A and B are shown apart, each in its own frame.
Chain A
Amino acid sequence: MSRPKVLIPIALGTNRDADLADAFRLAGADPETVPIADLRNGVRQMADYQILAVPGGFSYGDALGAGRLLGLDLIGWFGDQLRDAVAAGKPIFGVCNGFQALVRTGLLPGDSGTASTLAENESERFECRWVTLNPSPASVWTAELTEPLRCPVAHGEGQFVSGNLQGLTERDGVVLRYSSGGYPNNPNGSAGDVAGVTDATGMILGLMPHPENHVHSWQDPLRGRTPGGNCLPLFQAGVRAA
């Protein structure tokens, strides 16, 4: 089988694109990072890719709220292609700043009439630490995970706030939760320990933590105490679904 192509769009200030590309490559896909200008002027088209993955970073310096301006770009310059990709059932992934941007576009959580946002961390500061994520299977990305994922977070605005968390929970939209116990296990104070959410189809996954930074065994800070690299299956699942 040929390797599915992953479109990784980057704006000024995107900085975890190489990490994301590395994870998808390892998972058997063929990632390509594409400057947002190339989407704007049509040099690259989503129709030629099987997966869309929006990477982390500080697009436009987080000006006016993290992910807001990248979200504006995606809708303004790329909105039709985005809707086509959703309609075609292509796996879509947004991590950290990419998650923030997908929430700004309304694709995530995607329940009409309910606004969501990623607010400043409860600690009021940037947090870089390893967390444990308990998966639930309502998304193609997480359906086959057999153990909690461990990976770092690195963000200042990751507190998931939903206008209707109960509704989101009832439809199984929350597919990754921080291990409980409050701060620092839940590094940003998200109600319900929400770390990652999916849309109603289960094809779109957005999350604040960085599973792309735990796909090699040597990335594990518990070196020697665990096998390591345990986030790779998440990417393999997305690649299989493409």
Chain B
Amino acid sequence: MDEGAIDISVVGTVTEPNDVYAFVVGPGHEDRAALERARLFELPVDRLVRFRLVHLRASLVDGDLGRLASELCVDPVGGWWELATSLHQAAPGEDDLLIETGLRPGVTDREGAELVRASAQLGLGVQAATIGTRWIVSGSLSELQVVQLAERVLHNDVIERWAPEHLEPSFVGSISGAPATQSVTVRGLDADGLAEVNSARRLGLDPEEMQVISHHYADLGRDPTDAELETLAQTWSEHCAHKTFRAHISVTEADGSTTEVDGLLKSYLRAATDRIDAPWVRSAFVDNAGIVQFDDDFDIALKAETHNHPSALEPFGGANTGVGGVVRDILGVSAKPISVSDILCFGPEDTEPRSLPDGVLHPKRVREGVIAGVGDYGNKIGVPNIAGAIVHDPRYTTTPLVFAGCIGLLPTGSNPTNAQAGDSIVVLGGAVGRDGVGGATFSSQTMGVETADVAGSSVQIGDPIVEKGLIDVVLEARDAKLYSAITDCGAGGLSSAVGEMAEELGARVDLALVPRKYSGLAPWEVWLSEAQERMVMAVPDPAPLIELAKRWSVDSAVIGTFTGEGRLVVVDGDDTVIDISCDFLHEGRPKRQMTATISAPEHVEATAAALENVDPMGDLLKILAHPSVRSNEDVVRTFDHEIMGGTVVRPYGGPHGDGPADGTTQIPPGTTSGRAMTIGIGINALMGDLDSYAMAWSVIDEAIRNAVLGGANPDQLSLLDNFAWGKPTNPETLGQIVAACRACHDAALHFNAPFVSGKDSLYNEFVRPDGTPDPVAPTLVITAVGLVDNPAGVPLTGAVRPGNEVWLVGPAAGALGGSHYEAVHPAIELGEGGAVAQPNTDALDTHRAVAEAIANGIVESGHDLAEGGLAVAAAEWAFAGRVGLTLDSAEITNDPHVLFGEGPTRYLLEVDPANSGSVEAIPGARRIGSVVDSDTVTVGPMSVTLADIETAYRGHIR
């Protein structure tokens, strides 16, 4: 029996043929994006036209179908419908092909569900409906090319199915003969036997952990049930237990000495937060999200998550549920979600398709899907997306990264965390299906060619409309004090949510009470399903909560009680599914022992040859057009960053709304103190391999610079960390992680800025068919959140007024090692461009002084020096404000270290000449030039026009 491969297609059942209808809705639309993708794969396609395809299972009489189609599906202007078989209007031409695609049964289908609901409103008896797509393909394709077109361009096998010609309607039915709970033999097995169980069930456990489980059950005198084993695997997964960040690590230092580290989280991240002991931190690292003080009445909750593995397989669904998940984390501390952010890392868009291993989607398709998924969820739940970044690097081709952040607002002290024995366990939200089983164990393993085949059930499509309703119910329940504790149902489903809440008390759950999408699920599947959009609460008196949920059209169910007996007991009617001690579940995992090796950072001085033939203008335009530097305005415009009406500084600003902002700033809706919050983000894909300690300092400094320019007070910052690395069982990889954690610790103490929440995503490594690992670029994302006392005084985006002075804060020259200058000069090998920018351990005084100048209202605009250094910052800043700049002080030379070098704690500030005396107080600040009334940006010996900058920076935007 192969429990690993869960195929949701078995859910589909055959129905009576005379009950089933299929029709097509026109007019068709040319799909230019799909055509572009087809051409990427060199498929000879001239034109792709899509129509909506509707499948119904219904009891209809004469005329009903026409009424349903025209009143619910057809647009009143120019729309029409016809039976799928009639092939009259939605028909292929003589040389055209017809392909139909549709969702697999059981995948979230909001439109289909709404069609059923609306049909009932019209008095029509529709039992089930699904919406798919008919494609008319023009072009002369071979049979093989048709298959390639369907599989690589038109559909994703993880959630969809396809057929040449007509797709047979298929609906969610039930599986006959629901499997019962089974026991799994682990007692008495040797290491090989245990390894076999581990791999057959895709548990992702360490050999030592399998041994401990085997011994535990030997002591109990029985074998575990399948549900117990799966629950242990989920609870002990890297995703839930952060085994690497809690492991004991023997570190071989660069000088050959050895250091013992008892947990990265404890020794570095949490240690820094504890030592800082900031009075504004309400809670850090203990809950779904960190909580910090906002003003006298409100706190804000902060969280950033990763959703990398699912996004690699099904970009839309992965990113979609990534946003949904982090929003629920915020809801899980009783806060109202008020902003989301997204940091996305993709491979190069011009990757040669034939170079991709099987099972890897093309970066263009990943990018398209992820962006659509992020936008769909945020826009539909009505939370503004106000911050983000997009980075492209070849080391994200096989392992793209998706970081989703969320900030929430809650009245001070309004998140209850005191579940009591006797409280009911209430689950709110969506019903359980076979989709999304095993996400935590799946995301804690490396991916390979076969992953897409087996992981289908681990990837889901979100339903933001349901989550919007969930938010409304939770906030009303919070204000009415209807629950004593709350958590979200994320990876691991009920097993994680109830398991964690019951850690102290113990619980008894009856799976028969859990709402299901369809019958026929094994008990362990119900227990582990990650059906999205669900929250779990401990509720003293469920009746008013159930009533409230009903009013908001949100499903709810009482599924058990917290017992106070310290055991997790799960039954399915009369059958016992799980009976395990909470102590073993949560404390029984053996601490991981790991080894790490720290390599000496590469510090190579630039060779003269590397820096010959300087073409500064060409370099500037190349860096401006680099996919990690160029404008993302086209992407940001597909995200609603205005809803809630609180946005003060948008991601793109200036008189034309197309210049990049640094920190983005928002007045939380419903607050009255006049205060705002600002978000600064730091990320760098190029430095980590050279010197991950310096990289981590650098991105923390960057996040803080951005927050300061967003108006933040640098003496009340809170930080979030997101680590994305490859396999930590590789000592070199773990060495990089150790170094980055040390930098986080040291920088947090220097800046007096505590980490309040974080997330590590490891095993971001693709194993090629020949066994070569393809690890991700070492990536640390830092989010700095600060408070803004005077939102009206935040510097403008883009330089403003000719005649003003331009001041540079920080050294004129930066480093070229791991810089974007190096990235656009393929002739310079990594490291040859010079040393990596080293941490500035005097940075806080500078940030404070800049913030003070901003608070005093003398900084009209500013921009930080980041990717591409001084020249790129000047170009972006001038373009954003549509003014010229002349930066001509003697220190601005032709040296690429000056023009393009990168390094921490550097700003450009625009100041009225009358105020220049006040900026002199900023350490290391001096005047380097002026804002001028022209269309030319002059940086030392180099000049470019605003038109040239625009072409390079945003010429790719249609």
**Closest CB-CB distance, B672 to chain A, in whole Å?**
12
Contact of B645 among A76, A116, A117, A213 (CB under 8 A): A213
| Contact assessment for B111 and A61 in the assembled complex, using a CB-CB cutoff below 8 Å | yes
- Interface 0/1 of B641-669, CB less than 8 Å to A: 11111011010010101000000000101
Q: Per-residue CB proximity of A149-177 to B under 8 Å, as 1/0?
A: 00010100000011100000000000000
Per-position 1/0 for A97-132, Cβ under 8 A of B: 000000000000000000111011000111111100
Q: Report the nearest A residue to B550, measured CB to CB.
A: A37
* Pick from A76, A152, A218: contact of B121, CB under 8 Å: A76
A5 at the interface (CB under 8 A from B): no
Partner of A225, one of B110, B118, B551, B655: B655
B121 touching A72 by the CB < 8 A rule?
A: yes
What is the count of residue pairs linking A and B with beta-carbon distances less than 8 angstroms? Answer: 132
A13 lies within 8 A of B637 (CB): no
Q: Which of A62-70, A135-143, A196-204 contacts B (4 or more CB under 8 A)?
A: A62-70
Query: Which of B118, B468, B551, B640 gathers most chain A CB within 10 Å?
Result: B640
Using a CB-CB cutoff of 8 Å, which residues 625-651 of chain B contact chain A?
636-645, 647-648, 650
Q: Which residues of A contact B522 (CB under 8 A)?
A: none
Contacts of B113 in A (CB 8 A): 63
Is the pair A128, B72 in contact by a Cβ cutoff of 8 Å? no
Given contacts A60-B465, A64-B118, contact A210 B77 (CB under 8 A): no
A94 to B839, CA, bound (A): 54
A161 touches B379 (CB 8 A): no
Cα distance, A233 to B647, chains bound together (Å) = 21
The range of chain B's interface size is 35 or more
Q: Are A57 and B382 closer than 8 Å at their CB atoms?
A: yes
Given contacts A58-B380, A60-B465, contact A152 B642 (CB under 8 A): yes
CB distance from B304 to the nearest CB of A (A): 22
| Chain B residues, Cβ within 8 Å of A65 | 75
**Within residues 172 to 229 of chain A, which ones have a CB less than 8 A from any CB in chain B?**
210, 212-213, 215-216, 218-219, 221-225
Give B469's nearest chain A residue, CB to CB. A12
The docked-state distance in angstroms from the alpha carbon of A89 to that of B456 is: 56
Let me know if A129 and B379 touch, CB within 8 A.
no
B122 / chain A contacts, CB cutoff of 8 Å: 72
| Contact status of A18 and B111, CB under 8 A, knowing A130-B657, A163-B77, A218-B648 | no
CB distance from B221 to the nearest CB of A (A): 51
Alpha-carbon distance between A60 and B110 when the two chains are bound, in angstroms: 8
Q: Is B680 an interface residue (CB 8 A)?
A: no
Tell me if A64 and B645 are in contact (CB < 8 A): no
A203 to chain B, nearest CB (A): 23
Partner of B642, one of A12, A68, A116, A213: A213
- Nearest-CB residue, chain A, relative to B646: A219
B47 to chain A, nearest CB (A): 15
- For residue A17, which residue of chain B has the nearest CB? B382
Provide the residues of chain A in CB contact with B149, threshold 8 Å. Answer: none
Q: Tell me if B32 is interfacial: C-beta within 8 Å of chain A.
A: yes
B7 neighbours in A (Cβ, 8 Å): none
Contact across chains for A16 and B643 when beta carbons are under 8 A apart = yes
Taking the complex as formed, is A22 at the interface, i.e. its CB lies under 8 A from any CB of chain B?
A: yes
Please measure, in the bound complex, the distance between the C-alpha atom of A77 and the C-alpha atom of B297, giving whole angstroms.
Answer: 40
> Is A19 in contact with chain B by the CB < 8 A criterion?
yes
In the assembled complex, B792 has its CB within 8 A of some CB on chain A: yes
Q: Which of A37, A154, A223 sits near B792, CB closer than 8 Å?
A: A223
Q: Within 8 Å of chain A (Cβ to Cβ): is B791?
A: yes
Residue-wise interface mask of A (28-65) relative to B, using a CB-CB cutoff of 8 A (1 in contact, 0 not): 00000001010000000000000000000110111111
B381 touches A15 (CB 8 A): yes
- Given known pairs A115-B77, A117-B75, the reply for A64 and B114 (CB within 8 Å) is yes
Knowing A37-B551, A117-B75, the reply to whether A210 touches B375 (Cβ < 8 A) is no
Q: B379's contact among A58, A163, A213, by CB below 8 Å, is which?
A: A58
How far in angstroms is the closest Cβ of chain B from A11?
Answer: 9
B46 to chain A, nearest CB (A): 19
Cα–Cα distance between A134 and B77 once the two chains are bound (Å): 26
> Shortest distance in angstroms between B661's beta carbon and chain A's nearest beta carbon?
10
Q: Which residue of B lies closest to A127 (CB)?
A: B637
Q: Given A15-B468, A35-B551 in contact, is the A117-B76 Cβ separation under 8 Å?
A: yes
Question: Inside 8 A of A222's CB, which chain B residues have their CB?
Answer: 655
Contact: B114 with A127, CB < 8 Å?
Answer: no
**B380 and A61 form a contact (CB under 8 A):** yes
Q: Give the docked Cα–Cα distance between A222 and B861 (Å).
A: 13
8 A Cβ contacts from B434-476 to A: 463-465, 468-469
Q: Give bound CA distance, A16 to B468, whole Å.
A: 12
Q: From known contacts A65-B75, A126-B375, infer whether A154 and B791 are also in contact, taking CB-CB under 8 Å.
A: no
Asked whether B115 is an interface residue with its Cβ less than 8 Å from the other chain, the reply is yes
Q: Return chain A residues, CB-CB under 8 Å to B59.
A: none
Q: Are A12 and B381 in contact (CB under 8 A)?
A: no
Given known pairs A37-B551, A61-B111, the reply for A129 and B657 (CB within 8 Å) is: yes
Determine whether the beta carbon of B72 is less than 8 Å from that of A19.
no
Q: Which of A69, A116, A127 has the most CB of B within 10 A?
A: A69
Chain A residues with Cβ under 8 A from B78's Cβ? 161
Alpha-carbon distance A61/B379, docked complex (angstroms)? 10
Q: Is B283 an interface residue (CB 8 A)?
A: no
B645 touches A22 (CB 8 A): yes
Residues of A within 8 A of B669 (CB): 18, 22
Say whether B640 contacts A224, CB under 8 Å. Answer: no
| In the bound complex, CA of A213 to CA of B640 (Å) | 12
Q: How far apart sit A125 and B552, CA to CA, in the bound complex (Å)?
A: 30
- Residue pair A64, B73 in contact (C-beta under 8 Å): yes
Q: Which residue of A lies closest to B76 (CB)?
A: A115
Decide if A219 touches B77 in the complex (CB within 8 Å): no
Instruction: For residue B955, give the distance in angstroms from its CB to the closest CB of chain A.
Output: 16
**CB closest residue in chain A, given B634:** A125
Q: Which residues of chain A have C-beta atoms less than 8 A from B655's C-beta?
A: 222, 225
Please report the C-alpha to C-alpha distance between residue A125 and residue B110 in the assembled complex, in whole angstroms.
Answer: 20
Residue from B382, B469, B644, B657 within 8 A of A221 (CB atoms): B657
In the complex, A137→B668 CA distance in Å?
35
Inter-chain contacts of A73 with B (CB < 8 A): 121
Given contacts A61-B111, A61-B114, A223-B796, contact A18 B380 (CB under 8 A): no
| Most central of A12, A18, A128, A130 by chain B CB within 10 Å | A128
A19–B636 alpha-carbon span in the complex (Å): 21
B414 CB-CB contact with A under 8 Å: no
CB < 8 Å neighbour of A63 from B115, B468, B469: B115
Chain A: CB-nearest residue to B667: A218
Residues of A within 8 Å of B637, CB to CB, are 125-129
In whole angstroms, how far apart are the Cα atoms of A69 and B75 in the complex?
13
Whole-angstrom distance between the alpha carbons of A115 and B468 in the complex? 32
| Inter-chain contact B72/A68, CB cutoff 8 Å | yes
- Cα A223 to Cα B857 with chains together (Å): 14
Given A13-B380, A58-B379, 4 extra CB contacts under 8 A: A18-B669, A162-B77, A213-B642, A223-B794
Q: Jot down 30 A-B pairs with beta carbons below 8 A, ordered by A.
A: A12-B468, A16-B382, A16-B643, A19-B645, A22-B645, A58-B379, A61-B464, A61-B465, A62-B380, A64-B118, A68-B72, A72-B121, A72-B122, A76-B121, A115-B77, A117-B75, A117-B77, A124-B33, A125-B638, A126-B639, A127-B638, A128-B637, A128-B640, A128-B641, A129-B637, A162-B77, A212-B645, A218-B791, A221-B653, A224-B796
4 nearest A-B pairs in the assembled complex, by CB-CB distance: A15-B382, A63-B114, A115-B76, A152-B642
Residues of A at under 8 Å CB distance from B? 12-13, 15-16, 18-19, 22, 35, 37, 57-58, 60-65, 68-69, 72-73, 76, 115-117, 119-120, 124-130, 152, 154, 161-163, 210, 212-213, 215-216, 218-219, 221-225
List residues of chain B with CB under 8 Å of any chain A CB: 29, 32-33, 71-73, 75-78, 110-111, 113-115, 117-118, 121-122, 375, 379-382, 463-465, 468-469, 551-553, 636-645, 647-648, 650, 653, 655, 657, 667, 669, 791-792, 794, 796
